[in-house]
Amino acid sequence: MKKVILSSLLALVSTVGAFAQGTVTFVTTNANVNVKVFDLDHTTALSGTGFYAQLYAADGNNVASASLTAKGNPVNFRAGSFVGYVQVSGSSQPNNLAVNTSVLVTSQDTSVIGSQTPITLQMRAWSSAFSSYSVAVSSGGKFGQSTTFNSTIIGGSTPPDLTGLTSFSLQQSPEPTTIALGLMGAASLLIVRRRK
């Protein structure tokens, strides 16, 4: 009987200690969060498999955006009456990656009940024609990011949601060839001007 009680107690402690081990809930619509992501026109909400979203994070508060790293798998956006919100189930296309709303964002030990681990978070989105956010940015694709926001993971409690996340719209940087053509044109004008 003592072994059964001891085993049960050990299992309970392990379960509680493993609960929310450094994770946040990657859901953009719930009781505390209502955040949509929009296309270039600032009014059309992103929908379906044409776009990806991913969380970026770092330990500590107020970490610069450039220092954040990608966490979890990229996910697509929902359709129908939930356009603009990230996908919360199924698999993300075209890579058929499983959608997991519980995203590991810190390597800090959060198993101590009541411990507090501050983190900086940001959500980034981009055209799914590109394999990652950085590739979309460098290739002239559509991309966007939320402002950074702080959260705290409390050991032994449910994972925090994305309270503090704000809506944002995508942007598009000119393609490198467009920039090169512009620079060549400007150089030509300077050469012509010098000859006069």
Q: CB under 8 Å to 47, separation ≥6 — which residues?
A: 77, 78, 79, 83, 84
pLDDT for res 180? 58
Range 80-106 average pLDDT: 83
User: 32 and 158 in contact (C-beta within 8 Å)?
Assistant: no
CA 184 to chain centroid: 37
The total number of residues shown for the chain amounts to: 196
Rounded to two decimals, what is the model's pTM? 0.78
Distance CA 93, CA 47 (A): 13
| Helical residues (DSSP H) of the chain, grouped into ranges | 2-18, 133-138, 176-195
Over residues 158-189, the pLDDT tens digits come to 889 999 999 999 999 775 555 555 566 777 76
Query: pLDDT (tens digit, 9 = 90+) per residue, 6-56?
Result: 444 334 333 344 444 789 999 999 988 999 999 999 999 999 999 999 999
pLDDT tens for each residue of 115-143: 889 999 999 999 999 999 999 999 999 99
Say if residue 118 is preceded by a cis peptide, omega within 30 of 0: no
**Residues 148-160: tens digit of each pLDDT:** 999 998 887 888 9
User: Given this model, what pLDDT does residue 15 score?
Assistant: 39
